Amino acid sequence: MSQPLSRARPVASRTAFGSPELPVRRVDPPSHSAWTVRRTSFPERTPLPLRRYDILWRDARGGIRDAQLNAPALPLFESAFTAFARGALLPTRQGAVAIEDLLPGDEVETTEGDFVPVDWLGSVALDTQGRRAPGAHPEPLYRITADAFGLGRPTPDLVLGPAARLLIRHAASRALAPIRGLVDGVSVVEMRPPAAVRCYHLRLTRHAAIRVNGLELESFHPGPTANTELSGELRAKFLTLFPHLGTLAEFGRPCHPRLTPAERLARAS
């Protein structure tokens, strides 16, 4: 009967002194060479250009507060201040009042015939020469001659800033068109005065179209896409311009849809 083969046991070699020779493990001396650290460089964050904005608002107790704030010179920020040039007339319960003389709490007549309180006013020195920041574009003004859109629309001449939007009626539909899309060089003329001109805008307790020198223009609203246009940090900075508001949702719904300049031209053609 065959026996299972047994595994051969390794026989340790012996040294000259008769003791078994142990396996020798080679240990390399520690390396003293310096570690190489790779640095990852990130592009430097360019600070946003700032400009000074003036605001008036009504606080929770009904008092009128004012402030001067430095905030980014970005289009959405600037649009809250650059609709009406000094001297624009708005109908109130006390009669026509110039935009620069309005105060929070005054009630302005809307195109619907009701009176809505002003709760915020903003103003800024319009940069007609593009000097507010490196690479900044000049901010134009627009003069609308008397009766350009019909008798008394406007009366007298009206000077508007780049953020102004005019209420356009087409059949049963209404939309807000940017003033720059209405320039024709005759009745609506673009201007670039050599000196700074102060421009204004106002927010009502609800978004509405109002008559300014007889023309139907909108009160301020940041627009339906403002929440996506502004990151968290910029959104918080934007809301510092409206100390009486906590969120963009408090602006409410826009009263009418908005047109781009291209859409306005397409409708006119």
The residues spanned by each domain of the chain are 50-141+160-181+191-268
Q: What is the pLDDT of residue 99?
A: 98
* 183-231 confidence digits (pLDDT tens): 999 999 999 998 889 999 999 999 999 999 999 999 999 999 999 999 8
Q: pTM above 0.85?
A: no
Question: What is the pLDDT confidence band of residue 145, given thresholds at 50, 70 and 90?
Answer: very high
Is 73's pLDDT higher than 50? yes
Domain spanning 50-141+160-181+191-268, CATH class:
mainly beta
Nearest to 257 by CA among 189, 159, 133, 170: 170
pLDDT at 20 over 90: no
What does the pLDDT read at residue 3? 47
What is the rounded distance in angstroms from the CA atom of residue 142 to the CA atom of residue 170? Answer: 23
Q: Is residue 265 over pLDDT 60? A: no
Instruction: Select from 109, 186, 108 the least CA-distant residue to 146.
Output: 186
Beta bridge partners of 180: none
pLDDT band at 31 (very low <50, low <70, confident <90, very high): low
Q: What is the pLDDT of residue 130?
A: 84
| pLDDT per residue as tens digits for the range 74-130 | 999 999 999 999 999 999 999 999 999 999 999 999 999 999 999 999 999 998 888
Per-residue confidence (pLDDT) for residue 6, from 0 to 100: 46
What are the angstrom distances between the C-alpha of 91 and each of 69, 96, 128? 29, 4, 28
- Count of Cβ atoms closer than 10 Å to residue 57 Cβ: 21
For the cut 90, the answer to whether the pLDDT of residue 134 exceeds it is no
What local confidence, expressed as pLDDT, does residue 195 receive? 86
Helix (H) or strand (E) segment spanning residue 76: helix 75-78
In angstroms, the CA 119 to CA 144 distance is 27
Residue 240: the pLDDT is 98
Higher pLDDT, 1 or 36: 36
Band of residue 35 on the pLDDT scale cut at 50, 70, 90: low
pLDDT of residue 173: 85
pLDDT (0 to 100) of residue 40: 59
pLDDT of residue 47: 80
246-261 mean pLDDT? 92
Question: Cα separation of 186 and 196, whole Å?
Answer: 24
What does the pLDDT read at residue 147? 98
